[in-house]
Amino acid sequence: MKETKIYVGLNDSVSKLQRFDTEKYIGLLKKVCNAYHVPFSFTTAQGGYFHESGEYTEENTLILTLIDTDEKVIREIARDLCVFFGQESVLVTEGEVKACFVQEKLDI
């Protein structure tokens, strides 16, 4: 299976500050995934990076994980999140993962 992760920083690209509460961004992320009808999971993280100018920035980040999602849909979601979250760019990573579903029922 193919696993795709989209990393979306929460600092605005112009002000370099987080404009809204993290929960508001999470709600928007969920709405985007629902609109594209894709199953998803996400985590929140903190990280830092360097701008091309050499300036260092730390920010909160949402990491969206999608499994076996169409490449075109992934790019559309990434573009939407980039625009809606006011980002210069978002990072998309892909890799193959071994996965299986485990099902078990308790007999009572």
User: Among 49, 41, 53, which Cα is nearest to 90's?
Assistant: 49
Domain ranges of the chain: 2-96
Query: What's the pLDDT score for residue 3?
Result: 97
Q: Which helix (H) or strand (E) holds 60?
A: strand 56-67
* Residue 78 and residue 4 in contact, taking contact as beta carbons nearer than 8 Å: no
Q: Could you tell me which residues come within 8 angstroms of residue 82 by beta carbon, excluding any fewer than 6 positions away?
A: 8, 88, 89, 90
* Residue 25 and residue 19 in contact, taking contact as beta carbons nearer than 8 Å: no
Q: Is the pLDDT of residue 5 over 90?
A: yes
The pTM assigned to this predicted structure is: 0.90
Query: What's the pLDDT score for residue 52?
Result: 81
The model's pLDDT over 34-72, given as tens digits with 9 standing for 90+, comes to: 999 999 999 999 999 888 888 898 999 999 999 999 999
CATH of 2-96, one of 3.30.70.120, 3.90.1150.10, 3.90.120.10, 3.30.465.10: 3.30.70.120
Q: Is the pLDDT of residue 16 over 90?
A: no
Query: What's the pLDDT score for residue 23?
Result: 97
DSSP summary character for residue 11: B
Query: What's the pLDDT score for residue 94?
Result: 97
| Mean confidence (pLDDT) of the chain | 94
Weakest-pLDDT range from 28-37, 44-53, 94-103 = 44-53
Mean pLDDT of 82-93: 95
